[in-house]
Amino acid sequence: GESVGLHLPTLSVQEGDNSIINCAYSNSASDYFIWYKQESGKGPQFIIDIRSNMDKRQGQRVTVLLNKTVKHLSLQIAATQPGDSAVYFCAENRGRGYSTLTFGKGTMLLVSP
């Protein structure tokens, strides 16, 4: 079957580089955001989340930045490794009263050794 990776914007980096994946969201009422990683043939895997009362959150080798003024989210991966190669999705919860996530279309990250 056709890969989910087709038609996606692609970021190609060298092993050891830092990667930045961007996501724009449209709803100013969105107050909770999640980054997911999806490897080929697998379900999306939670990486890191952030709430709208924060503008930065750090995990292990990953940092998420939130700019509410321009409705922009980014995922920074430090010292990118070949195992980081995957499709990355941002997802947003659109605020009070919403029990669901809305996903972006994804970015494919390709890491070369």
Partner 1 sequence: DAGITQSPRHKVTETGTPVTLRCHQTENHRYMYWYRQDPGHGLRLIHYSYGVKDTDKGEVSDGYSVSRSKTEDFLLTLESATSSQTSVYFCAISEQGVQNTEAFFGQGTRLTVV
Collapsing DSSP to helix, strand or coil, 82 comes out as helix
Q: Which contacts qualify for 6-9: CB closer than 8 Å, 24 or more apart?
A: 8/87, 8/105, 8/106, 8/107, 8/108, 9/107, 9/108
Is 42 a binding residue for partner 1 by CB under 8 A? The answer is yes
Pick one of 40, 46, 54, 112: the residue that binds partner 1 (CB under 8 A): 46
Q: How far is the CB of 75 from partner 1 (least distance, A)?
A: 15
DSSP string, 51-66: ETT-SEEE-SSEEEEE
Is residue 56 within the footprint of partner 1 (CB under 8 A)? no
Residue of 20, 24, 56, 103 that binds partner 1 (CB under 8 A): 103
Phi (first) and psi of residue 69, to 5 degrees: -65, -40
Stretch that binds partner 1, among 12-20, 21-29, 34-42, 64-72 (CB under 8 A): 34-42
Contacting residues toward partner 1, per CB under 8 A:
1-7, 31-32, 34, 36, 41-46, 49, 89, 91, 93, 95-96, 98-106
